[in-house]
Amino acid sequence: MTADVSDVEAVRLTLGNKDQFSVLVLRYESKLRRYLRRLGVRNDDDQTDLLQDIFIKTYKNLNGYDQTLQFSSWIYRIAHNEAVSHFRKRSVRPEGNSVLEGDDVVSLIASGDDLMKELTANDDGRVLGEALKHLDEKYHDIIVLRYFEGKEYEEIADILLLPIGSVATRLFRAKAKLKELLVTKLS
C-alpha cells in the first residue's frame, strides 16, 4: 500500500482494512505534532499521548467523516478539540512560544500592516512569540492556523466550526490585539 492515495481513498481503504490507517497516521503525525506544539503542548510525552488520542478518535469517527470537507480540516478539528480538552483537564494555559525555530511568520503577520512591520522589524520571533502567549485562546488559535499552519479562511472555518465571516472578524481582532501587545512589550 503506497502513500500516494488521496485522503478520501485512504479513509475508504481503512474502513475495509484497519492496517491501512497507518497511511493517514504517517501522513499527518508530524503536522499535528507541530500544530500541538504551536498550540502550547510543549512536553514530548504529552504530545505523543495527545496524538494517540487524536488518531484513535479519528479512527472511531471515520464513518462520520463528511467528504465535502477536506480531510486535513477534519483531522485538525479533532486535534484542536483534543488540545482544548487537554488544557481544560489540566487547568493550564498553553505553554511556551508558538514561534518555533525556522518559522518565518514574522513578516507574514506583518505584511500589509505598516505598524506591525515597524514593530517586528528587528524581531527574530522571540518578541512575537512572547506577545502571542498573552493573547486570548481564541485569538491565539486563529493566528496559529492562519499564519503558522497556512490555512485558508474556509479551512479555518471548518476546523473551528465558525462561519467564514466570523473567521475574518476574529482574525482582524486578533491582529489588533497582537499589535497592542507588541506595542506594550516593545515600549
Partner 1 sequence: MTNDNEPRKEKDIALSILSRIEHEHVVPTPRSHFLLREGVVWSIGIFAVVFGALAVAGIMFTGEFSDWEYYEATHDTFFTFLIAIMPYTWIVTLVVFAVLAYEAVHRTKRGYRYPLPVLILLSVGTSIVLGASAFLMGAGPAIDMQAAKFVPFHHSLIERKLALWNKPERGIVSGTVTEIAPFGDSFTLLSPDNVLHTIRMDTLDESMREEISVGEAMRVFAPVSSRDEMAIDDESESMAMSAGQVADTTFMASEEASEGVSEEAENNSMMMKIAPEDPESPQQEEDERGVGSPNPTPFREACLVLPFDRERGREVRGDRKIFREKVSKECMKTFREDRRERVK
Q: C-beta of 140: minimal distance to partner 1 in Å?
A: 20
User: CB-wise, 25 or 84, nearer to partner 1?
Assistant: 25
Q: Is residue 121 a contact residue for partner 1 (CB under 8 A)?
A: no
User: CB-wise, 18 or 93, nearer to partner 1?
Assistant: 18
* Rounded-to-integer distance, Cα 104 and Cα 99, Å: 9
User: CB-wise, 26 or 186, nearer to partner 1?
Assistant: 26
* Rounded-to-integer distance, Cα 178 and Cα 155, Å: 22
C-alpha closest to that of 2 among 29, 10, 70, 65: 10
Cell of 169: 472578524
Q: x-or-dash pattern for partner 1, window 156-185, by CB under 8 A?
A: -x---xxxxxx-------------------
Task: Provide the Cα torsion 115, 130, 35, 117; round to 10°.
Answer: 20
* Rounded-to-integer distance, Cα 180 and Cα 178, Å: 5
Q: Which of 42, 43, 56, 126 binds partner 1 (CB under 8 A)?
A: 56
Half-sphere exposure at residue 2, Cβ-oriented, CA atoms within 13 angstroms: 3
Q: C-beta of 61: minimal distance to partner 1 in Å?
A: 6
Quickly count: other Cβ atoms within 10 Å of residue 37's Cβ: 21
Q: C-beta of 117: minimal distance to partner 1 in Å?
A: 32
Q: C-beta of 68: minimal distance to partner 1 in Å?
A: 8
Choices 17-25, 108-116, 117-125, 174-182; region in contact with partner 1 by CB under 8 A: 17-25
* Rounded-to-integer distance, Cα 164 and Cα 179, Å: 23
Q: Is residue 48 a contact residue for partner 1 (CB under 8 A)?
A: yes
* Rounded-to-integer distance, Cα 3 and Cα 10, Å: 9
Q: Is residue 29 a contact residue for partner 1 (CB under 8 A)?
A: yes
Residues lying near partner 1 in the complex (CB under 8 A): 1-3, 15, 18-19, 21-22, 25-26, 29-30, 48, 51-52, 55-56, 59-64, 66, 68, 157, 161-166
